[in-house]
């Protein structure tokens, strides 16, 4: 959006009514606010999970139903979990219109088929007795999971989501507020997982989406149409080749806008009667580059009571901008019986985050 507004002129006025022009691209805040970082609590918690842990798609129940509050719909939760190995972390691959905390109240159902299952789910915001609204997104999603968890698994997911007051996670304020806008996204996602050897597996994920946004209230932003976006991820996982350890390599591209436009109201200079006219300018939203996150993680179980893990991640072209710096973040953690300790670096300012936890068993 910032590139599309370069050269477009807006006007400010003083008490005498004089118009002073400025470049409207300055309305766009380019300060990075969502640098990919390592979730310290999640990494430490995963040290308690066994290295060998598989999921079986078959179930004795033909039909199973559930109700959720404050969570993603059932198909989305399952999609971002591994079907062949629950120790594989897919949380870094989540996208804005299917965030893990979309909230609201949800209903879901699982229909067991031969060597596969069909999942259906929907969520809507809900207002509680205190007047607070839980959740801000409506979704309706279905997915089909097929395969033998000991060898391979494939998942096809499709659905529709509706967000308020933002466009694919981007928000506005003041004259460029998105308050009152509804962004509707139709999407398709594919996940494929396969064991190549006894101790080696590959996971691939891809999403495609199309988003349209209605006009906000009292804003220079008019609407957005045919905003196409996509994301991809690839994870290689190796474990227990010689001892109790796990090594993971991953690369992912977060959700990236590949096409689409936003209509912006451009105000002209006031005439002698102080009337201001507006024209509609369609701004190209295609990203200038492609953000890629590369990473490596290693875990070693020394014995039944002691384990440690390390992780390092590199981010190029943050926010899909060509002029962004390369960022680094690191983590190291240890688990001894019921004590967990670890620290991680913040990629924005290289600050250090530490955490110590102790679980008491009654």
pLDDT of res. 361 = 59
What does the pLDDT average to over 213-230? 92
- The pLDDT score that the predictor gives to residue 83 is 64
Lowest mean pLDDT among 22-31, 110-119, 149-158: 22-31
H/E segment holding residue 43 = helix 40-46
Output the pLDDT for position 87: 59
Confidence category of residue 108, pLDDT binned at 50, 70, 90: very high
What pLDDT does residue 58 have? 53
Q: How many percent of the chain have pLDDT more than 90?
A: 37
Q: What is the pLDDT of residue 255?
A: 93
DSSP-derived 3-state class of residue 3? helix
CA-CA distance, 319 to 254, in Å (whole number)? Answer: 9
What's the confidence (pLDDT) of residue 231?
94
**304 vs 141, residue with greater confidence:** 141
| DSSP for 187-206, written as a single string | EEEEEEEEEEETTEEEEEEE
Residue range of the domain that includes 203: 2-358
> Which range, of 6-15, 200-209, 343-352, averages the lowest pLDDT?
6-15
pLDDT at 313: 93
Q: Which residue did the predictor score with more confidence, 17 or 47?
A: 47
- What is the per-residue pLDDT across 144-195, written as a single tens digit (0 to 9) for each? 999 876 678 899 999 999 998 988 888 888 878 899 999 999 999 999 999 8
User: Residue 280's CB: how many other CB atoms inside 10 A?
Assistant: 10
- For strand 126-127 and strand 137-148, is the pairing parallel, antiparallel, or unpaired? unpaired
DSSP 8-state assignment for residue 132: P
Average pLDDT of the segment spanning 40-62: 70
**Contact assessment for residue 224 and residue 211, using Cβ atoms and an 8 Å cutoff:** yes
CATH of the domain at 287: 2.40.160
- Measured between alpha carbons, how far is 111 from 265 in angstroms, rounded to an integer? 49
Number of domains within the chain: 1
pLDDT, tens only, 66-106: 888 888 888 998 888 876 665 566 767 778 888 766 668 88
Closest CA to 184 of 219, 149, 159: 159
Tokens of 154: 């494939």
Alpha carbons 147 and 83: distance in angstroms, whole number: 9
Over residues 116-126, the mean pLDDT reads 92
According to the model, what pLDDT value does residue 12 have? 73
On the question of pLDDT at 57 being above 80, the answer is no
**Does position 55 have pLDDT exceeding 60, yes or no?**
no
What Rg do the C-alpha atoms of the chain give, in angstroms? 24
Q: Per-residue pLDDT for 59 more than 60?
A: no
In whole angstroms, what is the distance from residue 146 CA to residue 15 CA? 68
Quote the CA–CA distance of 289 and 345 in Å, as a whole number: 26
pLDDT in tens, 315-355: 999 888 888 889 999 999 999 988 999 999 988 777 888 99
Query: Looking at residue 33, what is its pLDDT?
Result: 58
Q: What mean pLDDT, rounded, does the chain reach?
A: 84
Pairing mode of beta strands 105-113, 221-239: unpaired
The conformation of residue 31, written as its DSSP 8-state character, comes to S
Residue showing tokens 């118009």: 19
**pLDDT tier at 121 (50, 70, 90 boundaries)?**
very high
In whole angstroms, give the CA distance from residue 190 to residue 211: 18
pLDDT band at 17 (very low <50, low <70, confident <90, very high): low
Residue-level pLDDT at 198: 75
Cα(167)–Cα(171) distance, rounded to whole angstroms? 7
Can you give the pLDDT at residue 268?
Answer: 80
Residue 52 has pLDDT above 70, yes or no: no
**How far is the CA of 195 from the CAs of 92, 97, 151, 297, in angstroms?**
21, 30, 5, 19
């Amino acid at each position: 959006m910032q590139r599309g507004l370069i050269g477009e002129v807006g006007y400010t006025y003083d008490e005498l009514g004089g118009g002073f022009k400025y470049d409207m691209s300055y309305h766009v805040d380019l300060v990075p606010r969502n640098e990919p970082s390592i979730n310290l609590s999640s990494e430490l918690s995963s040290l308690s999970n066994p290295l060998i842990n598989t999921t079986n798609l078959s179930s004795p129940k033909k039909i199973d139903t559930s109700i959720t509050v404050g969570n993603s719909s059932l198909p989305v939760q399952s999609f971002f979990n591994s079907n062949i190995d629950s120790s594989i972390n897919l949380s870094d691959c989540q996208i804005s219109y299917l965030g893990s905390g979309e909230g609201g109240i949800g209903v879901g159902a699982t229909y067991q088929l031969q060597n596969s299952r069909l999942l259906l789910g929907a969520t809507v915001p809900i207002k509680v007795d205190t007047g607070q609204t839980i959740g801000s997104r409506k979704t309706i999603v279905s997915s089909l999971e097929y395969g033998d968890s000991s060898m391979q698994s494939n998942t096809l997911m499709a659905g529709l989501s509706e967000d308020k007051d933002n466009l694919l996670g981007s928000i506005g304020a003041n004259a460029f507020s998105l308050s009152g806008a509804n962004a509707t996204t139709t999407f398709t996602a594919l996940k494929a997982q396969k064991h190549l050897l006894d101790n080696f597996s590959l996971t691939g994920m891809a999403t495609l989406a199309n988003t349209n946004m209605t006009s906000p209230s009292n804003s220079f932003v008019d609407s957005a149409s045919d905003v196409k976006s996509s994301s991809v991820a690839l994870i290689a996982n190796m474990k227990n080749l010689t001892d109790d350890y796990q090594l993971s390599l991953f690369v992912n591209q977060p959700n990236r806008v590949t096409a689409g436009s936003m209509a912006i109201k451009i105000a002209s200079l006031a005439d002698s009667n102080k009337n201001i006219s507006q024209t509609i300018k369609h701004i190209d939203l295609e990203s200038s580059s492609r953000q890629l996150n590369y990473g490596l993680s290693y875990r070693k179980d020394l014995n039944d009571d002691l384990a440690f893990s390390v992780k390092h991640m590199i981010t190029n072209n943050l926010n899909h901008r060509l002029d962004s710096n390369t960022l680094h973040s690191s983590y190291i953690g240890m688990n001894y019986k019921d004590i967990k300790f670890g620290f991680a670096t913040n990629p924005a300012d290289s600050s250090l985050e530490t955490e110590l936890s102790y679980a008491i068993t009654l």
